[in-house]
């Protein structure tokens, strides 16, 4: 059995939520600073800074040190459908990153590709693993109880 007595005890769900919000605020502030540098450096307009991504993507220690990358192979995108909470398209080649010019938000989920990865200024990139790619914006409802309750009379 592990000894957990040295770990800080939570002050409850409210404290956990406050800590999460502080962390999200810090990430948002850092992203805003990186995006500001990106917008103010015209030579970077063709280069997109990603928060995360495949290990094969080039890395830069800072936005200011980014340089134009190797051109990507040509890809034809067809059968584009854009709905209120979904997007789908067909690509002629898999494995080539595709810039999705829709604002990134963590509730976007993709099938037929990896990602979505958040890139500057606040767009998404997906890397197709299939010729048919779809993104869906999902809203997850919170449940108060893990087990449903049934009342009888």
Q: Which residues of 16-54 are buried (b: 16+ CB within 10 A; e: fewer)?
A: eeeeeeeeeeeeeeebeebeeebeeeeebeebbbbeebe
pLDDT tens figures, 86-145: 999 999 999 999 999 999 999 999 999 999 999 888 899 999 999 999 999 998 665 555
**What residue segments make up the domains of the chain, in order of their start?**
25-63+71-137
Q: How confident is the model at residue 4 (pLDDT cuts 50, 70, 90)?
A: very low
Task: Give the closest residue to 75 by CA, choosing from 96, 48, 101, 102.
Answer: 96
The confidence score (pLDDT) of residue 78 equals 98
pLDDT tens figures, 66-82: 777 678 899 999 999 99
Task: Give the closest residue to 119 by CA, choosing from 99, 137, 136.
Answer: 99
The confidence score (pLDDT) of residue 21 equals 47
Residue with the larger pLDDT of the pair 152 and 143 = 143
* 3-class DSSP state of 50: strand
- Could you please report the per-residue DSSP string of 74-141? P--EEEEEE-SSEEEEEESSSSS-EEE-S---TTEEEESEEEEEEETTTEEEEEESSSEEEEEE--PP
Query: How far, in Å, CA of 64 to CA of 39, rounded?
Result: 11
pLDDT tens figures, 5-63: 333 444 444 554 454 444 444 455 666 777 777 777 777 777 777 878 888 888 777 77
Query: How far, in Å, CA of 106 to CA of 44, rounded?
Result: 25
């Amino acid at each position: 059995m592990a000894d957990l007595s040295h770990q800080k005890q939570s002050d409850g769900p409210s404290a956990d939520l406050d800590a999460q919000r502080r962390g999200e605020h810090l990430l948002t502030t850092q992203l805003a600073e990186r995006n500001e540098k990106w917008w103010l450096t015209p030579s970077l307009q063709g280069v997109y800074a990603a928060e995360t991504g495949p290990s094969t993507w080039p890395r830069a220690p800072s936005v200011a040190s980014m340089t134009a990358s190797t051109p990507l192979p040509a890809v034809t995108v067809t059968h584009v459908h854009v709905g209120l909470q979904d997007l789908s398209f067909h690509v002629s080649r898999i494995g080539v990153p595709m810039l999705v010019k829709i604002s990134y938000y963590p509730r976007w989920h993709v099938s037929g590709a990896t990602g979505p990865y958040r890139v500057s200024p606040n767009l998404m990139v997906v890397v197709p693993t299939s010729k048919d790619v779809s993104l869906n914006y999902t809203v997850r409802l919170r449940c108060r109880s893990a087990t449903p309750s049934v009342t009888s009379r």
